[in-house]
């Protein structure tokens, strides 16, 4: 049995197949992708709010994604450079 592709759908049912494919693209791109973008934005916002407790002041809420990634990379590099386990726990 051969695979039934979107080209076959359009060949056998030009109007309804095109309508189905258009509706599928709209549903997939507009709803699902938007849904995932909202989830990612909310998790990013919650991450910043949780980090506010670790860092002095509320300036962390105004950080962007690149600033947060840089801050974590710098913190990780500093942790690698610390030799003593007690220093790591204090940091």
Tens of pLDDT along 73-82? 888 888 777 7
**Whole-number Cα distances in Å, 16 to 25, 27, 50:** 14, 16, 50
Contacts of 61 (CB under 8 A, 6+ apart): 48, 49, 52
| 60: its two tokens | 């962390």
Q: Quick one: pLDDT at residue 58?
A: 57
End-to-end CA distance of the chain: 63
Indicate the pLDDT class of residue 89, thresholds 50, 70 and 90: low
> Can you give the residue ranges of every domain in the chain?
1-51, 58-91
Q: Which of 40, 41, 60 has its CA nearest to residue 50? A: 60
**Whole-number Cα distances in Å, 33 to 6, 40, 53, 76:** 21, 11, 31, 32
Alpha-carbon distance of 47 to 65, in angstroms, equals: 11
């Amino acid at each position: 049995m051969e695979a039934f592709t979107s080209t076959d759908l359009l060949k056998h049912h030009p109007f309804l197949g095109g309508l189905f494919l258009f509706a599928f693209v709209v549903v997939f791109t507009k709803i699902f992708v938007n849904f995932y973008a909202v989830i990612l934005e909310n998790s990013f916002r919650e991450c910043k709010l949780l980090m506010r407790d670790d860092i002095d002041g509320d300036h962390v809420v105004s950080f962007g994604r690149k600033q947060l990634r840089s801050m974590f990379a710098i913190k990780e590099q500093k942790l690698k450079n610390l030799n003593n386990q007690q220093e790591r726990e204090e940091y």
